[in-house]
Structure 1
């Protein structure tokens, strides 16, 4: 018997439950929806990005075109960063779905990476952020990648240099919430552990990281995914 696909109403109920569970008192009320967007897109339901957007703009704090444009910059930047961990198609589909419900006066035409360039400054910025997340653990990764230098280059120049070290729109905690959500939704043990640890290292408490993981798991269940391989924050706490 075929399983019914979740509806927009189901998605709105999910988003409200994640918003209620998320540790907004300590992390801020402007972060839960970044986790929700990254997880729902990574989980194979990028179409519900439009429902998340409509839910958000129904709130009083987003009742002006200026506020909605600022919100869209944050949502779009989350999806740009998500490309670095899940690829282009799912984040791109989420953008298309949001664009279908945007009002003309709410559209934001800014271009965050218009002046980006590769090179030493980009590599250095990427390496500085990478070092905050990985610290001494990166040496082991470098040893492994010494025979796979394309991936070391990709990590420093592109993943971190182009995407993750740019904090002009989303700060470090915002960025790690997006990355952790995208990676965990893929049920990746090693990389999830790295970013549970990284989220702790940039100042998010162990209690809050556990709740963040519960939020991601709630969305995974909605998407029909079983996160059977991922560690919990208590499992990596000794590495922090």
Structure 2
């Protein structure tokens, strides 16, 4: 399947539901970057922004770039740059949106304690409080920076909310060959308040991108086989 045909199929399904209307392109871009098909992100972006106003284009651009940058922690900076740099080169000066929420937060005086509290809350929902604390203690025991990098980076929610982050991390992990970790983050979509439709969309999109770009997705636990009992936050 040619990229344009595949992207059109993903857009049609994504825009067909209010749950995934503004998520399809961030999930697809993440999957492409993780599958080391980053250069095709520019074509995806051009499809997603065709016919939009400049303000809407910048909205889409900001979210797409954040999705790739945020998930680069999971599949590597080189792959993220193979997605981002061709996109950067395609933009005219007036199209560029260069907002960075982490840079802005530091400029505006966000404290280390505030960042750590945000990371703690994010992972307590993802893993449950007891499991999150056990992971935190283990990280600090062996390498203190692991908690700092992983927790604080992924929990930033100015551009992508926690559900959208979990959708992106799910596809990033599936398309980079990490099915066990993908299972945790598929559960995370529901635990952070997302719907089963969102979880299915993220997973199905991962399978389509994976199959189109030669990624083995056979080891992934299907959404309908996951026990989501009592998964929603109380």
Q: Per the shorter chain, which TM-score range?
A: 0.7 to 0.9
Mapped partners of 2:213, 2:5: distance in 1? 13
Of residues 205, 217, 221 in structure 1, which corresponds to 2:211? 221
Mapped partners of 1:204, 1:173: distance in 2? 6
Q: TM-score, normalised by structure 2?
A: 0.86
In the alignment, does 2:78 pair up with 1:89? yes
The answer to whether the 8 A contact 2:102-2:156 is kept is no
In the alignment, does 2:151 pair up with 1:160? yes
Of residues 151, 155, 160 in structure 2, which corresponds to 1:170? 160
In the alignment, does 2:195 pair up with 1:205? yes
Unpaired segments ≥5 residues, structure 1: 1-5
Larger relative contact order (C-alpha < 8 A, sep ≥ 6)? 1
The answer to whether the 8 A contact 2:167-2:199 is kept is no
Of residues 89, 98, 102 in structure 2, which corresponds to 1:109? 98
Q: TM-score, normalised by structure 1?
A: 0.84
Q: What is the CA distance between 1:70 and its match in structure 2? A: 2.0
Q: What is the CA distance between 1:200 and its match in structure 2? A: 1.5
Mapped partners of 1:95, 1:208: distance in 2? 25
The aligned residue for residue 65 of structure 2 is 76
Mapped partners of 2:141, 2:18: distance in 1? 40
The aligned residue for residue 53 of structure 1 is 45
The aligned residue for residue 124 of structure 2 is 131
Taking structure 1 as reference, are residues 82 and 40 closer, same or farther at Cα in structure 2, changes over 3 Å only? same
- Aligned positions, number: 225
Taking structure 1 as reference, are residues 118 and 205 closer, same or farther at Cα in structure 2, changes over 3 Å only? same
Q: Name the SS of the counterpart of 1:237 in structure 2.
A: coil
What is the alpha-carbon root mean square deviation over aligned residues? 2.3
The answer to whether the 8 A contact 2:63-2:160 is kept is yes
